[in-house]
């Protein structure tokens, strides 16, 4: 392809070629590796036929796992170790990197912006998973009682189809503030003035509370996810236990809190932890709405600022490791619970 782009392939054609090469490559790998295993390494013939078949069957699962292991090593394990190494390095004069130990971490923890980001992340972790899971559980319970419940679920789930940036733009318009003598297009300011407010408010510039206005976006998106998962869990509760509680005189609140919730507690924990991981990685919403200004900085935005704006790879990598350390216990907890349920 030349500089002007002449001779470039059509994106759809490139996509088809990629699919064909990818799928064809996988099929060729599995067919060829199995053929080599059965015909060359351990042929099922001769005096050692039985032993060869057993050995081939022991190796065969690893043939299927090998591509996944290589991909995980290349795109997950290697970046983690490379980031860890960079977090102990600093770019010196002439672009030469030198080992500085924990100096990046010490400097990072001393910065007010990092402390602000940590406090805000904790605030997000306390509020967003709790609110999204609670609203999702409430929606799941109420919509199951409606004749048009499936329509209501579709409407509630719809924000999941919107990107974080798209949702941020929508809510930025909701929070929009214009001069008093101009018609307000922001719904929140319109309601505020309608019910006796003095002047339009810059909602995203009010320290501390502006974090909750940002969190509302993620809660709005994740509520649909929580509702779908919890609705399936509620429908899986045996009818006999609910009928027995009704016969014993339990009211709807007692049935919900003492019968249904204990039986779906494991699902609630999975939903909670999944939303927690999404909350820890939040970047798009803050970047699109405030860009970390007015005391709304979070860890992912802090990492972005250090890596791509300040060009400080040491500090940026150190902040990335902090995010990973916060996510890891949740992932371990999820894996532990999954294995526990399988057993």
Give residue-wise pLDDT tens across range 33-84.
888 877 767 676 767 666 767 777 778 788 888 888 888 898 888 988 988 8
Q: Which CATH class is domain 103-342?
A: mainly alpha
Q: With 0-12 CB in 10 A as exposed, 13-18 as middle and 19+ as buried, what is 138?
A: middle
Read off the tokens for 195.
């019910």
| pLDDT of res. 198 | 81
Residue-level pLDDT at 49: 66
pLDDT tens by residue, 212-228:
999 999 999 999 999 99
Residues of the chain with pLDDT > 90: what percent? 19
59, 37 in Cβ contact below 8 A?
Answer: yes
Q: What angle do CA 68, 71, 75 make, to 5 degrees?
A: 145
Distance CA 82, CA 133 (A): 35
> Which DSSP state fits 237?
S
Evaluate if residue 267 carries a pLDDT over 90: no
Q: Nearest Cα to 60, choosing from 46, 44, 72?
A: 44
The structure tokens listed for 214 are 């940002």
Ranges of each domain in the chain: 11-87, 103-342
Model confidence band, residue 92 (pLDDT cutoffs 50, 70, 90): low
- Range of lowest pLDDT (117-126, 235-244, 292-301): 235-244
pTM of the model: 0.78
As a whole number of angstroms, the distance between CA 238 and CA 139 comes to: 20
């Amino acid at each position: 392809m030349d500089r002007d782009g002449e001779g470039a392939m059509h994106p759809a054609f490139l996509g088809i070629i990629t699919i064909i090469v990818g799928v064809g490559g996988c099929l060729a790998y599995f067919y060829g590796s199995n053929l080599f295993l059965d015909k060359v390494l351990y042929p099922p013939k001769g005096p050692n036929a039985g032993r060869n078949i057993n050995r081939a069957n022991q190796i065969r699962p690893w043939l299927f796992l090998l591509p996944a292991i290589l991909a995980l090593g290349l795109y997950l394990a290697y970046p983690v170790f490379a980031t860890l190494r960079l977090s102990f390095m600093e770019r010196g004069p002439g672009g030469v990197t030198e080992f500085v130990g924990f100096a990046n971490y010490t400097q990072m923890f001393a910065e007010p912006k990092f402390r602000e980001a940590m406090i805000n992340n904790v605030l997000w972790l306390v509020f967003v998973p709790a609110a999204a899971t609670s609203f999702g559980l409430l929606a799941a319970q109420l919509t199951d009682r409606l004749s048009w419940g499936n329509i209501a679920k579709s409407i509630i789930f719809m924000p999941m189809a919107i990107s974080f940036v798209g949702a941020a733009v929508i809510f930025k318009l909701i929070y929009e503030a214009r001069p008093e003598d101009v018609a307000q297009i922001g719904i929140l300011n319109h309601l505020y003035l309608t019910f006796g407010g003095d002047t339009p408010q810059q909602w995203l510039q009010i320290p501390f509370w502006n974090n909750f206005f940002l969190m509302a976006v993620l809660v709005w998106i994740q509520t649909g996810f929580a509702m779908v998962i919890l609705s399936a869990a509620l429908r899986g509760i045996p009818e006999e236990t609910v009928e027995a509680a009704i016969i014993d005189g339990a009211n709807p609140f007692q049935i919900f809190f003492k019968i249904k919730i204990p039986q779906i507690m494991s699902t609630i924990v999975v939903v909670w932890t999944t939303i927690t991981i999404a909350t820890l990685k939040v970047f798009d919403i803050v970047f699109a709405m405030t860009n970390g200004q007015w005391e709304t900085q979070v860890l992912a935005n802090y990492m972005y600022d250090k890596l791509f704006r300040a060009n400080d790879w040491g500090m940026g990598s150190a902040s990335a490791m902090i995010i990973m350390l916060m996510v890891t216990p949740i992932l371990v907890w999820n894996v532990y619970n999954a294995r526990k349920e399988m057993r």
